[in-house]
Structure 1
Amino acid sequence: MNNKKKVMVIFGTRPEATKMCPVVQELKNHPEWFETKVVVTGQHREQLYQALSHFGIQPDVDLSLMRENQTLSYFTSAAISGLDQIILDDRPDMILIHGDTQTALCGGLAAFYHKIPVGHVEAGLRSHNKYSPWPEEVNRRIVDVVSDLLFAPTTIGKENLMKEGYSSDHIYVTGQTAVDAAIITNSAEYKFNETRLNSLVRHEGRIITMTAHRRENYGMPMEQMFNAIRRVVDEKPDVSVIYPVHLSPTVREAAYKKLSGHDRIHLLDPIEYPDMINLLSRSYLILSDSGGLQEETPVFNKPLVLMRDTTERPEAVTANAVYLAGTEESSIYDITTRLLTDTQLYDGMANARNPFGDGQASRRIVKILAHHFGFISNLPSEFEG
């Protein structure tokens, strides 16, 4: 069999880009098998292109859909409409989408409407609460329904899918492509693009890197997070906090109200992906409500205090790499203080095994695609977390 197959890769946000660019790179390493087209929706704009530039990838199509204060309804309708024509014109043999964003949802539905097979990278994640994370939990479930190849990062993802009735013949445990990307990106000689970080990371004390942006945490939960971190910094004179603040006006208003004016709390604008990865590797501790950071911090043996009530990545909690703290001020303050004072507790989390990957997920995914299309006879071995 020597006919190339057309693979269209669709994504739209920076997290998707960082996780899918290693897959795109691996696809492009095999031009004898695949003709690869990258389509971006522009769900994020500047941050998306920063990630693309880092991995040396130029999209073939950019729908440029991002609007100020865009609603989910606007973006969903615009993305499905825009992708519809692109898919109709190109007629790919396979469409790859990632995770649980609106772009992933729209890419999956648009492919389904044209009866194009779908491969879902990062399939099977579940929090089992449709409103947390919102709207991602419902998005990922819908994407799995329309997918033909389900690339689960861990065995838990595979088990979730099988419990819901998906055939094991279409589920592949690959590891997490975020691990591939983080390993590629981290460097001991790295110079930060955000110039303030070059001096901040040389702080003699301990650095806590913090992020907070989830919609379900807007309001009181986010205020309690910020109260907790301010208490910690007030009480620990060797601790500083670096917080790249999300562009959401709601997040920025709360963050600057609660955290500005402290000489050891550094509020930055959003930083580029390579800066974030190299900041994580140089931090002592991470506090976040992020999904993706749960996969990245174990790469660098950094404990993560997860400021959420649920997680769709329970592997990290089970492995003791992540502590699910909820959003109450007291619980966040208590566990953060303990990690700063209890060496045994800290070391136990820092030395936890990485349950998410070994840096080979992208190669597995591309080999599975090659097997699916008949280019190779054997499937790769699955990731064993």
Structure 2
Amino acid sequence: MKVAVIFGTRPEAIKLAPIIKELEKNGFLDVTVISTGQHKEMLEPILEWFEISPDYDLELMKPNQTLSSLSALCIERLEVVLNKISPDLLITQGDTTTAFISSLVAFYNKIKVAHVEAGLRTYNNLSPWPEEVNRNLISKIADFHFAPTDNNKNNLLQENVTKEKVFVTGNTVIDALLFSAEKVTKENIYPEELEAFFTGGLKEKKLVLITGHRRENFGKGFIGISEAIRALANSNPNVYFIYPLHLNPNVQETVREYLSDLENVKLIKPLGYPEFISAMKRSTLILTDSGGVQEEGPGLGKPILVMRDNTERPEALKHGTVKLVGTNKSNIINAVQELLSNKEIYDKMANAVNPYGDGTAAKQIVSILQEKKNLV
């Protein structure tokens, strides 16, 4: 069986890396790795970390590119590659433009599609945008749906996806996390900007790690987030707030305007994946609007406060590993302050069971593909 694996963003590469490595161990599978380069600068260190070298790079990104122009270019360039290599199966992950468009091109060329991280839903097409629509459309195309949880499986079954096509495997992000957490500890890797928190005079200080990049939070949302962090920093002078700033100007401009003058708020450059894992391990709690961090943080025993109004990961809410706080200033302040001051509530979140698996998702996925290869 000839298999193509495609990714374009850093999260996709992280979550597909364990599958690629598992496929490479398997002599029955001829593997071609394709990068669309959707997040080119952020991809290269990830590929180096996991020792993955793409066979094809579509180099899609251009300045001031719209989603429509990105999609059109992806269709054009990916079709050329797929026609050249003629895979039996395309493996795609998640809900990005790369994931949706590659699934569509595979369908147009009568290539089977395996969707990793299938069945996530918010049932709000504008949140997250455009991811919610992307993953819904992929589910209409895919032949194999690898769902992280039973809840994701049930979402697919309710949408009339045939149950024989849905497999609950856990999430490969945990595979990548456990591998990387062990490696950063062994190699003593941490962000240079945070050296004092690892080896210097700030080793014992509480640290709140912040990430934010969602389009739906641009403008008013990031103002609310920034105002909340400012208030928390002023009322907790012995707590440090570490914010690796996303490169998008819509994030940079607002956050810097509100937070750049505070001594215990550190605005730093985006972290590489191993450095970010190290920062998560060192943190007391995490404020985020990310999807993947909702899965990774609990794997390291960190309470997660989600700065969104909804989440496609309700299992985390049910298990108590995350809490929704939105972008409302008061909600963020109250939730962070509670975790900083109430040990019982903190310990309950920190010790909750992570619902996203035990780090064997990639092995399960490749085993299923081996077993079902006659259907491809």
| Same topology, TM > 0.5 | yes
> 1:127 is paired with a residue of what secondary structure?
coil
Aligned partner of 2:330 in structure 1 is 330
> 1:271 is paired with a residue of what secondary structure?
coil
Q: Is the 8 A contact 1:201 1:207 kept in 2?
A: no
Q: Offset of 1:84 from its aligned partner?
A: 0.8
Aligned partner of 1:84 in structure 2 is 79
Q: 1:196 aligns with which of 193, 200, 217?
A: 193
> 2:358 is paired with a residue of what secondary structure?
coil
User: Matches of 1:251 and 1:45 in 2, distance apart?
Assistant: 19
The code of the aligned residue for 1:355 comes to P
What pairs with 1:202-281 in structure 2 (closer than 5 Å)?
A: 202=199, 203=202, 204-281=204-281
Say whether 1:142 aligns with 2:137: yes
User: Matches of 1:146 and 1:374 in 2, distance apart?
Assistant: 19
User: Matches of 2:147 and 2:64 in 1, distance apart?
Assistant: 32
> 1:186 is paired with a residue of what secondary structure?
helix
Q: Offset of 1:238 from its aligned partner?
A: 2.0
Q: Deviations for 1:176-222, whole angstroms, at most 9, x for unmatched residues? A: 00000000001334434641122234522101100011000000111
The code of the aligned residue for 1:22 comes to P
Q: Is the 8 A contact 1:201 1:279 kept in 2?
A: no
Q: Is the 8 A contact 2:190 2:278 kept in 1?
A: no
User: Matches of 2:250 and 2:188 in 1, distance apart?
Assistant: 31
The code of the aligned residue for 1:168 comes to K
Say whether 1:24 aligns with 2:20: yes
Aligned partner of 2:40 in structure 1 is 45
Q: Is the 8 A contact 1:190 1:278 kept in 2?
A: no
User: Matches of 1:301 and 1:69 in 2, distance apart?
Assistant: 39
User: Matches of 2:220 and 2:279 in 1, distance apart?
Assistant: 28
Q: What's the TM-score, normalizing by structure 2?
A: 0.96
Q: Is the 8 A contact 1:209 1:241 kept in 2?
A: yes
Aligned partner of 2:343 in structure 1 is 343
> 1:243 is paired with a residue of what secondary structure?
strand
Higher helix content, 1 or 2: 2
Q: Is the 8 A contact 1:191 1:198 kept in 2?
A: no
The code of the aligned residue for 2:197 comes to L
Q: Is the 8 A contact 2:197 2:205 kept in 1?
A: no
Q: Offset of 1:68 from its aligned partner?
A: 2.3
Q: What's the TM-score, normalizing by structure 1?
A: 0.94
Gaps of 5+ in 2: none
User: Matches of 2:257 and 2:187 in 1, distance apart?
Assistant: 32
Say whether 1:168 aligns with 2:182: no
Q: Offset of 1:341 from its aligned partner?
A: 0.6
The code of the aligned residue for 1:110 comes to V
> 1:43 is paired with a residue of what secondary structure?
coil
Q: Is the 8 A contact 2:297 2:304 kept in 1?
A: yes
User: Matches of 1:127 and 1:293 in 2, distance apart?
Assistant: 17
The 3 A distance-change label for structure 1 pair 232 and 190 is: farther
User: Matches of 1:84 and 1:6 in 2, distance apart?
Assistant: 16
Q: Is the 8 A contact 2:93 2:115 kept in 1?
A: yes
User: Matches of 1:120 and 1:112 in 2, distance apart?
Assistant: 13
Q: Is the 8 A contact 2:238 2:264 kept in 1?
A: no
Q: Is the 8 A contact 1:14 1:44 kept in 2?
A: yes
Gaps of 5+ in 1: 376-385
> 2:154 is paired with a residue of what secondary structure?
helix
Q: Offset of 1:232 from its aligned partner?
A: 1.0
The code of the aligned residue for 2:115 comes to H
Which deviates more, 176-185 or 195-204? 195-204
Aligned partner of 2:2 in structure 1 is 6
Say whether 1:56 aligns with 2:51: yes
Say whether 1:114 aligns with 2:103: no
Q: Percent identity?
A: 44
Say whether 1:132 aligns with 2:111: no
Aligned length: 370
User: Matches of 1:194 and 1:354 in 2, distance apart?
Assistant: 26
RMSD: 1.2
User: Matches of 2:240 and 2:260 in 1, distance apart?
Assistant: 13
Q: Deviations for 1:102-133, whole angstroms, at most 9, x for unmatched residues? A: 00011100000001000000000001100000
> 1:97 is paired with a residue of what secondary structure?
strand
Q: Is the 8 A contact 2:94 2:117 kept in 1?
A: yes
Aligned partner of 1:362 in structure 2 is 362
Q: Offset of 1:67 from its aligned partner?
A: 1.7
Say whether 1:36 aligns with 2:38: no
User: Matches of 1:160 and 1:138 in 2, distance apart?
Assistant: 14
